[in-house]
Amino acid sequence: MLYSLKVAGAQTAASLADRLGITSVAVRQMLGRLHEDGLVAFEDSRETVGRPKRFWHLTDSGNGQFPDNHAALTADILASISAVFGDAGLDKLIAHREAATLDHYRTELADAGSLEQRVQRLADIRSAEGYMAETTRDAAGALVLVENHCPICVAARACQKLCRSELDVFQAALGPDVEIRRFEHILKGARRCAYRITERPGGSPQLAMKL
């Protein structure tokens, strides 16, 4: 139930029932227990004439049920590095992490041919790292990489250079014929991070970011 709300966002009990393949009665019972535990909350929305629909979503405690890769400790370490070694030391650390991550991604993507294959492989890698990533296409047919969870969110809030570093890594890993645009961002209040990825034949590397 929590996973479904995490990856699909706010939903009604009926839509959750369809998604999970169980009855609406069972869903409402589970939602009631999760609500008592403070893991989910709801908002009533009147979309048409008649009875309003109740949309359920995760609370902060609900989101906290997903892995955070020891985020609080990571944030403390980053703060200590900045205090002891200054911004230059922190930049050096992030650059080292970026280089190591890029080397790993390039190795994993080496035998992926098309852009779609590369993006799917990247999503698989990110999911293994805890980002609950998936690929889809938007209304215009462009590839979209979606990350439903950020296991380093606390650390990224403390050091937003980590987010910029990840975008740089995506660009370098996917190649110079690709343009990446982030149009949803967890740190800006969105439910997820989402990146639109398009081909730019013959173009030079470019990173387009909507922060």
pLDDT digits (tens, 9 = 90+) for 133-164: 999 999 999 999 999 988 888 778 777 788 88
Query: Which tokens in the block code for residue 155?
Result: 């650390």
The pTM of this model reads 0.69
Burial class (CB in 10 A: 0-12, 13-18, 19+), 1: buried
182 membership: H or E segment, kind and range: strand 178-184
pLDDT band at 34 (very low <50, low <70, confident <90, very high): very high
Mean pLDDT computed over 13-37: 90
Burial letters for 186-210: b for 16+ Cβ neighbours within 10 Å, e otherwise?
Answer: beeeebbbbbbbbbeeeeeeeeeee
Residue 177 CA to residue 174 CA, distance in Å, equals 8
pLDDT of residue 67: 67
Using CA atoms, how far apart are residues 102 and 196, in angstroms rounded to an integer?
20
Return the SS3 of 17.
helix
Predicted local confidence at residue 162, as pLDDT: 82
DSSP 158: H
